[in-house]
Amino acid sequence: MSEFDLIRRYFADIGPPRSDTALGVGDDCALLEIPLGQTLAVSIDTLVSGVHFLPDCDPECLGHKSLAVGLSDLAAMGAQPAWSTLALTFPAAEEAWISAFSRGFARLSDAHGMRLVGGDTTRGPLSVTVQVHGLVPADAAIRRSGARPGDRVYVSGTLGDAGLALRRMLAGEGVDASLRSRLECPEPRVRLGQGLRGLASAMIDVSDGLAADLGHILEASGVGAEIELARLPLSPLVAEVVQGTGDWSLPLSSGDDYELCFCVPQRHEERVEAVAQTAGLPLTLIGTLSAAPGLRLRLPNGDRLETERTGYDHFCSD
Ligand code: ADP
Ligand code: MG
C-alpha cells in the first residue's frame, strides 16, 4: 500500500467533522477557524518506542495513549479539545498494526469531539508525535503561575497505578487488566479541567510524578507547599506496596498518572466537591501552599520525607 493510500484509508476521517474546520487532511495545510473571544491552546508530545512504551505494546492502546497525553495537557489548561495533528514514524507499513493504532486514536478523538486535521507519515524507528489544539475563552486558561500562599492543593483520582503496572510488567509479573489500563489507556481528565475554570488558581497534569509536577507549580508561582502523605489518594494495590515497603516513590515520582494537580483559594474550598460530582471523579485535598519556597512532604508519623530525586528527566544521567 502506498503512503497516500494508507493515509486515506486510516487517517483521513478521524473524529467528527467540525464546522470550524475549513480544511482538514489532504492539502498542504489544514485551515482552522478560531471563534472570536477564544484562545488556541497548543501542545505537542512524542512517544518513542522503548522509551515511552514497550515495543510490543498493543497498537490500539498506543493510538489511544498518544492522543491521551496531549488531551491531558489541554485538560490541565482548562481547554476544550478541538483538533489534532499526527506525525507517525514506523519501520514497515504493517496494515494490521496501523489499523489498530488508528482505531485507538479514533475512539478517543470521537469521545472528545476532536478532528484529526493533518500529519506526516515516515519510515524509521517507531515513534509517534501528536500535536493537540484546544480552545479556551480568552483569559480563562489555568496556568501554573497563579497559585498563592494559603491555597489548598488537590489531586484527582489516584496516584501511582501506572507506575505499579510498569514495575510489575518489567519484572515479568502478572498485572490485572484494570491496573494495566491505567498505564496503557489513561483517561485524560478533560471535563474536570474545564470544570475548574474560574476556581483553580494553578493547575498541571501529573505525568512525571506528583513531586516533580507540583514542583513546577511552586516554581512558576513562587510559593512552597506542605503536603500530608497520609492524604494522598492511593488505590488499594498501591497502598499495599507503600505500607509494605515504606517507599513512597510510586505515588510521588513514578510517571504516567495523567491526573490533575491544582490549587484552589481557601475561600472556594467548598466549591470543589460540586466539581468532583460533575466530573465523576474523586478530588482529594493533600496540602496547603506557603510563602516559604520548597516542597515539604510530611510522613504519616509526622516526620519530614527528604526527597532529592523527583520525577523522570530524559537528560538527567544519574
Ligand atoms: P506534504 O508533502 O505537503 O508534507 P504529505 O504528503 O506529508 O504532505 O501529506 C499529505 C496530506 O496527508 C497532508 O494533508 C497531511 O497533513 C496528511 N497526512 C500525512 N500523514 C498523516 C497522518 N499520519 N495523519 C493525518 N494526516 C496525515
Ligand atoms: Mg509531509
**142 lies in a domain?**
no
CA of 87 to the centre of ligand 2 (A): 9
pLDDT at 315: 54
Residues 201 and 232 in one domain: yes
Residue 262 lies in a domain: yes
Question: What pTM does this model have?
Answer: 0.95
116 CB near ligand 1 (under 6 Å): yes
| Bridge partner list, 41 | 134
Cβ atoms of 201 and 265 closer than 8 Å: yes
Q: Are residues 52 and 129 in the same domain?
A: yes
Residue 20 annotated as lining a ligand binding site: no
Closest residue by Cα to atom 20, ligand 1, is 120
Task: Show the domain range for 77.
Answer: 3-137
Pocket of ligand 1 contains residue 2 by CB under 6 Å: no
Contact yes or no for 259/284 (Cβ under 8 A): no
Q: Tell me, yes or no, whether 44 lies in a domain.
A: yes
Same domain? For 74 and 200 the reply is no
**pLDDT value for 23:** 97
- What is the domain count for the chain? 2
According to the annotation, is 201 in a ligand binding site?
no
Residues 6+ apart with CB under 8 A from 133: 32, 40, 41, 42, 82, 83, 84, 85
- Domain presence at residue 269: yes
- State the average pLDDT for the chain: 94
CATH code of 220's domain: 3.90.650.10
Same structural domain for residues 191 and 118? no
Does 174 share its domain with 96?
no
Least confident piece of the model among 80-89, 92-101, 268-277, 299-308: 299-308
Domain CATH number, residue 130 = 3.30.1330.10
Residues 233 and 115 in one domain: no
pLDDT for the residue 317: 45
User: Could you tell me if 29 and 109 lie in one domain?
Assistant: yes
Q: Is 45 annotated as a binding residue?
A: yes
